[in-house]
Amino acid sequence: MFFDTHAHVDDEQFSEDREAVLQRALQQGVTRIVNIGCSREAALNTLALADRYNFIYGTVGLHPHDAKDFDAAFLEDLRRWARHPKIIAIGEIGLDYYYDLSPREVQREVFRQQIRLARELDLPITIHDREAHQDIFDILTEEKGWETRGIFHCYSGSEEMAREIVKRGFYISFSGAVTFKNAAKLKKTAQSIPLERILIETDCPYLSPVPYRGKRNEPAYVVKTAEAIAELRGLSLEEIAKATWANGCRAYRLDTQPE
Ligand code: NI
């Protein structure tokens, strides 16, 4: 059993064949998916998917790209959506200093407000960190965000930073990027951090693992990421599947029994 802990299956790239994509995931043993509702539209789509499919759970939050659109009304909507029993985290939230699609000071303020919401609701957070490592750390410390626990999704930092994250109780989620030939740093991190803190994700439709690189990604391909980590750690695919399943359940506070 595999757990795709971060997917965007509501994306319009799946609008022609979403049902087939989900069936392929199940056939490959990907029997649990967390869909990320990180905009108004994505949050509503995520709620609908979670209602329709028993193996899909969801998050709600506002992506740092759209931080400029955050206001009190949106915060109120998040609070309401998060009451749904299958909404299990606030995310993805954080900072993106690579694209800078919202002013950085706005991104930081919106990140803070959503950490406070997660603390209020006692939910873990899913973090998007692109070239903003220091500010992410500082804000998590200032807002006591480490206490909510959560996940650094699509991890892209250093091995040393991963150790600091793990020490503070968070999880590190690896995407298809760990299968890339030029990902030496990431591979080393996947090799060395404690197994019980590793999650796997697709972040589909983006970031397809080898050998699908450049094509549309989908949850079934999370198996390729699991294979890469198994090889790096000298473990069997079954061992990685079992560990990352248990870790995903712990990180998102879900039952370990599949649906
Ligand atoms: Ni994502």
- Cα of 241 from ligand 1 centre, angstroms: 21
Burial of 123 (0-12, 13-18, 19+ CB in 10 A): buried
For residue 70, which of 43, 33, 30 has the smallest C-alpha distance? 43
pLDDT of residue 259: 85
Ligand 1 centroid to Cα of residue 154, in Å, is: 8
Determine the Cα–Cα distance for residues 188 and 3; give it in Å rounded to an integer: 22
Residue 258: its pLDDT value, please? 86
Return the sign of the alpha-carbon dihedral for residues 71, 72, 73, 77: positive
Average pLDDT score over the chain = 97
Distance 92 CA to ligand 1 centre (A): 7
Ligand 1 midpoint to CA 36 (Å): 7
Whole-number Å distance, alpha carbon 197 to ligand 1 midpoint, is 19
Between the CA of 219 and the centroid of ligand 1 the distance, in Å, is 13
CA of 93 to the centre of ligand 1 (A): 10
Q: What's the gap in Å between 132 CA and the centre of ligand 1? A: 16
d(CA 51, CA 230): 33
Which amino acid, residue 222?
V
Average pLDDT of span 186-200: 98
Q: Quote the tokens at residue 33.
A: 């998916």
In terms of C-beta distances under 8 Å and separation of at least 24 residues, what long-range contacts does 223-229 make, across chains too? 223/2, 223/28, 223/29, 223/30, 224/176, 224/179, 225/174, 225/175, 225/176, 225/178, 225/179, 225/200, 225/201, 226/2, 226/200, 228/178, 228/179, 228/187, 228/190, 229/174, 229/178, 229/190, 229/198, 229/200
**Measured in angstroms, how far is the CA atom of residue 240 from the centroid of ligand 1?**
22
Chain segment 160-188, per-residue pLDDT in tens:
999 999 999 999 999 999 999 999 999 99
90 φ/ψ angles, rounded to the nearest 5 degrees:
-100, 120
Q: What's the rounded Cα separation, in Å, for the pair 80 and 210?
A: 39
- Say if CB 130 and CB 150 are below 8 A apart: no
Domain boundary assignment for the chain? 12-153, 166-216
- 59, 38, 84: which is closest to 251 by C-alpha? 59
Alpha carbon of 35 to ligand 1 centroid (Å): 9
Q: How far is the CA of 7 from the centre of ligand 1 (A)?
A: 6
Fold of the domain spanning 12-153: TIM Barrel (3.20.20)
Q: Is a pLDDT exceeding 90 seen at residue 202?
A: yes
Pairing of the two strands 198-200 and 171-174: parallel
Q: Which of 76, 88, 149, 157 is nearest to 117 (CA)?
A: 76
Residue 15 has pLDDT above 90, yes or no: yes
As given in the structure block, the two tokens for residue 134 are: 């220091």
State the distance from the centre of ligand 1 to the C-alpha of 65, rounded, in angstroms: 11
The span from the CA of 33 to the CA of 14, in Å, is 15
Q: What is the percent of the chain where pLDDT is above 90?
A: 99
pLDDT in tens, 204-237: 999 999 999 999 999 999 999 999 999 999 999 9
| Distance from the alpha carbon of residue 127 to the mean position of ligand 1, in angstroms | 9
